[in-house]
Amino acid sequence: MIPEPAIDRLAAMFRTPDLTGTRYEIISTLGRGGMGIVYLARDTALDREVALKIFDRPPGDSNEARIIARLEHPGIVPVHDFGELPDGRLFYAMKRVRGDRLDRWMAAGPSTGLRAGRDLTDRLAVFLRVCETVAFAHAHGVVHRDLKPENVMVGEFGEVLVLDWGVAAADIADCGLGNADSNSQTIVGTPQYMAPEQERGDAAIDQRADVFALGAMLAGIARGVAPVAAIARKAQSADAGQRYQSVPALAADVNRYLAGRAVEAHREPLFARVARVARRNRLAILLVLTYLIVRVVLIFLFRV
Partner 1 sequence: MAAFPATRHSIVAAIRSDRAEVRRSAFDALVTAYWKPVFKYVRLKWRASPDDAADLTQGFFLRAFEKDFFASFDPARARFRTYLRTCLDGFVANARQADARLKRGGGVALVPLDFDEAERELAHQAGNAIADFDAYFHREWLRGLFAAAAARLRDDCAARGRRDRYPLFEAYDLAGDDRPRPTYAELARRHGLTTIDVTNELAAARREFRRFVVEALRQQCASDEEFESELRGLTG
> Which positions are catalytic?
146
Contact status: 18 vs partner 1 (CB under 8 A): yes
Contact status: 10 vs partner 1 (CB under 8 A): yes
Residues 6+ apart with CB under 8 A from 229: 219, 222
Contact status: 1 vs partner 1 (CB under 8 A): yes
Contact status: 9 vs partner 1 (CB under 8 A): yes
Contact status: 21 vs partner 1 (CB under 8 A): yes
DSSP 221-272: HHTT-HHHHHHHHHHT-SSGGGS-SSHHHHHHHHHHHHTTPPPTT----HHH
Residue type, 256: R
CB of 90 to partner 1, least distance (A): 12
CB of 184 to partner 1, least distance (A): 4
Candidate ranges 18-26, 107-115, 196-204, 268-276; the one touching partner 1 (CB under 8 A): 18-26
Contacts of 227-233 spanning 24+ positions with Cβ under 8 A? 227/257, 227/263, 227/265, 227/266, 227/268, 228/120, 228/124, 228/254, 228/257, 230/263, 230/265, 230/266, 231/257, 231/263, 231/265, 231/266, 233/265
Residues 40-99 that bind partner 1 (CB under 8 A): 56-58, 86-89
Contact status: 14 vs partner 1 (CB under 8 A): yes
Q: Which is nearer to partner 1, 22 or 237 (CB)?
A: 22
Q: Which residue among 47, 111, 185, 269 contacts partner 1 (CB under 8 A)? A: 185
| Binding footprint of partner 1 on the chain (CB under 8 A) | 1-7, 9-11, 13-15, 18, 20-21, 32, 37, 56-58, 86-89, 184-186
